[in-house]
Structure 1
Amino acid sequence: MDLTGLLGPSRPLPVQVRPMGGESTGSFVRRLGRANGLNLASFLERVGQGEASQDPEQVEKYPQYTEMKMNAAGRTYLSVLSGLEVGLLQWALPSLADDLLLPGTGPAMWQWPWEAEGGHLVPWCTSCGHRRQVGERVWLMSADGWQLCGRHLRWTDDSRSTDPEIVSVAALPACVAAHQDRLRLRSRFKAAGEELFADACQVMYRWWRYAPDTLVWVQRAWAAGLEARSARAVPLVVFPEAVKLAWLMLRFEQAGLRTPQDRGRWLVRVQHQADLWDVDFAAGKTALLQWLERHSSPAATGGKAAMAGRRWLPLAERHNRIASRTGSLEQRSCMPAA
């Protein structure tokens, strides 16, 4: 590593920690500092020149509210202190991606805005932490507002609630199966699969708002130990239907048939599935119609061009104009937030 002209640290800290895949930068920095007996303020002093938080004690006290941002020089400083190459840090810590760095090529700068950019701060499964001999809380920078651990059947989210802090899904086999089904969607269709899942989530959240007392959703909330009408319960209780709806949306895009008659036939298919789910179709029809309207025109480019690009499936033209390729689940959907 070339440190020519670097005014910051010149060697790694004595005790090193391993970043977890998807970890927030702030979480990793706290763990690295504590392993070396440094609170956040002391750690920032060791980093070199820079712009520290106005109140590092508050930042350290509430890790679930804020994510650390830095410029390229700050990232280089962190690379030196951690003993890890910049490329490895970028791979492990999503907020260190080039497009999320603070602007400027001058001295190292770091900030702690009270709203995480491009995702949600979600606690990592503590059982996974114990398995990897990590004894303190790790916070992930997640595109979703939640994480489901298929190994330990734990659901964590960004609600910051401690009642319960970690939700067991052991009594929710439909949610566990949906998790695996979603992973298959992501694996096979990459960005297109994730964007359709994001669309399906926004549709299902609105669906829930019109029918929150749907028995299957109420039962799932109770099985998870959550209040049935709480906002926290919504992503979990509609998760199975959201994944199934994402696959139905995928089939619509694959067929490439978008006449009013084609859209009507697809809607009938969703209605049939809603009956099987024991969910009131009428409560979600408006959101489904809005999704169909935003997917009524095919992609501007041909299928072969899209296949050669970043995704394996060309999505509708209007969807592509609205949805972001990166960022949070809400940003990756063409649907308005519920």
Structure 2
Amino acid sequence: MDAEAAPKPVELHPVLGESAASFVRRLAHLNGLPAAEVLREAGARRPPGDLDPWAHEVFFSKQAADRLAVMAWRTPQELRCALPTLAWAAGRPGRRPAVRMEPWPGRWTPLAPCEGCLARREDLVTPVVLASGEPWQVCVRHGRWLRAAGDRPAQVSLTGLQEVVEAHRRRVRLQQQVGPYARALLADALQVTAGWWQSRQMGAEAERVWARREAVLGPGRQMWSVPVVVYPEAVIVAEAMAVYERQRRWGREFDNGAPAWVSRHWIAFVGERLGMPGPVEQGGYRMLREWTLQHRIAQPVVDRLAQPAPPPGYRTERLPVMDPHQCLPEHGPLEDASCLDWRLGRPVMAAE
């Protein structure tokens, strides 16, 4: 009599954005195996005995990722589309072990997924951990802010803060229209708006808006809530920065103004977009002016005037990475992608 055939592995659907360690742990649990056995099958020479997705991430070579896909009855493309660190690690140059477990690197943050998104899943035999390229995310479908907090993440309901959810939709559109450079613009815009929040440069009008959001979140005036409190204004500022940069790319001053007037014209434009022209003119201009100094046009006026007109449609085209953002990190805290030196919690040193 033939030996009993080995049971077919249980297939597993990944959660979008899931960490590789979380996926391995769930796959092992569903098949009644230790996680070390799954890692060994994928190509690990000395798999660890314990796997904690909150403390470590597992990085796979392309061949190891393909073997993991076979074990889960998924295609390699499916896994790379769903597991961000899987695609990232497979695309890195150089020779590395097929499977390696490392403490979470600074460019990635473990987050808990939105509870609403997982409500109907039946294969969540162990908790799911996301691999986020930023320390926080917004779920627009269920109105939740996912953030890293200490040793464990937290989820904050955005009920009553629909403008934050809408701001995230606008951010997604900005990324689609601008391309990867949108990350630098949003990073700069968050630095500007967080600087306004900390220094109170925008006066009572903005303070009332932010205080209302803080009251909805519940913590009062706390630094951990700043990204979500100023998020709507940050996205509007980032959109205005994209307008400025599209013109700068072709050597054009904003609104065809003279070189000495570019900051004033654009700063007034930002104030109008925010619906706060007075506060921007009276105090908010300081942080914006710091940004324009970093993004000024270096080409002489005579040379600019000799250039041909920009092509039709340039106001809506995607942007390349531009000075001073030559080395733009794709993952990690957004502030690391900013050209502004100021950081939340430090004295605001904007020029008068």
TM-score bracket for this pair, using the shorter chain length: 0.7 to 0.9
- Structure 1 residues 139, 267: closer, same or farther in 2, change over 3 A? same
Q: Which of residues 326, 338, 342 is equivalent to 1:321? A: 326
Tell me which residue corresponds to 2:228.
Answer: 236
The one-letter amino acid paired with 2:184 is: E
List gaps (5 residues or longer) in structure 1: 1-10
Q: SS at 1:292's partner residue?
A: helix
Bigger drift between 65-74 and 171-180 goes to 65-74
Corresponding position of 1:75: 65
Conserved 8 A contact 1:150-1:176: yes
Q: Match of 1:167?
A: 156
SS in 1 for 2:13: coil
Change (3 A) 1:102 1:249: closer
1:231–1:30 CA distance, 2 compared to 1 (3 A):
farther
Q: Distance in 2 between matches of 1:106 and 1:197?
A: 33
Q: Does residue 217 of structure 1 match 2:210?
A: yes
Correspondence for 1:125 among 104, 114, 131 = 114
Asked whether the 8 Å contact 1:146–1:155 carries over to 2, the reply is: yes
Q: Distance in 1 between matches of 2:287 and 2:217?
A: 27
TM superposition shift of 1:200: 1.1
Report if aligned partners of 1:185, 1:194 keep a CA contact under 8 Å in 2.
Answer: no
Q: Which residue of 1 aligns with 2:296?
A: 296
Q: How does 1:105-254 map to 2 (within 5 A)?
A: 105=95, 108-117=98-107, 119-135=108-124, 136-160=126-150, 165-211=154-200, 214-225=207-218, 227-254=219-246
Instruction: Name the SS of the counterpart of 2:173 in structure 1.
Output: helix
In the aligned structure 2, how far is the partner of 1:198 from the partner of 1:81? 39
By how many angstroms is 1:280 displaced?
6.8
Separation of aligned partners in 2, 1:106 and 1:233? 39
Which structure has the larger Rg? 2
SS of equivalent residue, structure 1 residue 121: strand
Q: Which moved more, 1:27-36 or 1:213-222?
A: 213-222
- Greater CA drift, 104-113 or 193-202: 104-113
Q: Which amino acid aligns with 2:238?
A: A
Secondary structure at the counterpart of residue 168 of structure 2:
helix
> Kindly tell me: are residues 288 and 134 of structure 1, through their superposed partners in 2, closer, same or farther at Cα, counting changes over 3 Å?
farther
Tell me the SS of whatever aligns to 1:323.
coil
Q: Secondary structure at the match of 2:340?
A: coil
Aligned length: 315
In structure 2, the residue matched to 1:4 is: none
Cα 1:48–1:99 shift into 2, 3 Å: closer
CA 1:120/1:289 → structure 2, altered by over 3 Å: closer, same or farther?
farther
Change (3 A) 1:132 1:165: same
Unpaired stretches in structure 2, ≥5 consecutive residues: 1-5, 254-258, 300-307, 344-352
Amino acid at match of 1:200: A
By how many angstroms is 1:243 displaced? 0.8
Measured against aligned partners, the alpha-carbon deviations of 1:240-264 in whole angstroms (never above 9, x if no partner) come to: 1111111111121233334231122
The whole-number CA distance in structure 1 between the counterparts of 2:8 and 2:208 is 55
For residues 149 and 36 of structure 1, the distance between their equivalents in structure 2, rounded to whole angstroms, comes to 31
* TM, length-normalised to structure 2: 0.75
- CA change 1:336–1:38 in 2 (3 A) is farther
- Contact 1:192/1:315, CA 8 A, preserved across alignment: yes
Q: 8 Å contact 1:204–1:241 — kept in the other structure? A: yes
Change (3 A) 1:229 1:291: same
Root-mean-square deviation (CA, aligned residues, Å) is 3.6
**Inter-CA distance 243–89: structure 2 relative to 1 (3 Å threshold):** same
Alpha-carbon distance in 2 for matches of 1:277, 1:159: 35
Alignment partner, residue 13 of structure 2 = 18
Is residue 112–residue 154 contact of structure 2 (8 Å, CA) maintained in 1? no
Report matched runs for 1:250-329 at 5 Å.
250-256=242-248, 257-258=252-253, 259-273=259-273, 276=276, 284-297=284-297, 312-314=317-319, 317-324=322-329, 326-328=330-332, 329=334
Aligned in 2, Cα 1:264/1:106: closer, same or farther, shift over 3 Å? closer
Question: Is the CA contact 1:297–1:316 (under 8 Å) kept in the aligned structure 2?
Answer: no
**Retained in 1: the 8 A contact 2:178–2:319?**
no
Normalised TM-score (structure 1)? 0.78
Q: CA deviation at 1:104?
A: 5.6
